[in-house]
């Protein structure tokens, strides 16, 4: 059972959809400031899991990155003849 109301959960969902949260810590801080409800890391993660929200964003990729060469390096193929 959540300590947040359905309306509060809806507000979290709306803000997450707008990309306002990048980390679980940001969500925890916002919930505490906005609603006065404190959660642990795992507590807020559980709330977000129930809402099917993942605040993590993919890491940026450099525009000039050579993905084929990176893949070869990860496989250990780099520099072998």
Q: How many domains does the chain have?
A: 1
Determine, yes or no, domain membership for 32: yes
Q: 80 in a domain, yes or no?
A: no
Answer yes or no: is 1 within a domain: no
Secondary structure string (H, E, C) spanning 48-80: HHHCCCCCCCCCCCCCCCCHHHHHHHHHCCCCC
The pLDDT value recorded for residue 61 is 76
User: What is the spatial distance between Cα 6 and Cα 3, in angstroms, rounded to a whole number?
Assistant: 10
Over the chain (81 residues), the average pLDDT of each successive run of 10 is 90 92 93 96 95 79 84 77 51
Contact of 63 with 26, CB cutoff 8 Å: no
Determine the pLDDT at residue 57.
Answer: 65
Tell me, yes or no, whether 60 lies in a domain: yes
**Spatial separation of the C-alpha atoms in residues 39 and 28, rounded to whole Å:** 6
Give the model's pLDDT for residue 67: 83
Domain encompassing residue 41:
6-75
Domain contains 58: yes
Structure token pair of residue 17: 């959809």
């Amino acid at each position: 059972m959540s300590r947040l109301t359905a309306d509060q959960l809806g507000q979290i969902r709306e803000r997450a959809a707008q990309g306002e949260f990048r980390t679980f810590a940001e969500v925890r801080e916002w919930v505490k400031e906005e609603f006065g409800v404190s959660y642990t890391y795992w507590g807020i993660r559980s709330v977000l899991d129930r809402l099917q929200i993942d605040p993590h964003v993919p890491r940026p990729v450099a525009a000039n990155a050579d993905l084929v060469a990176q893949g070869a390096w990860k496989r250990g193929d780099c520099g072998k003849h």
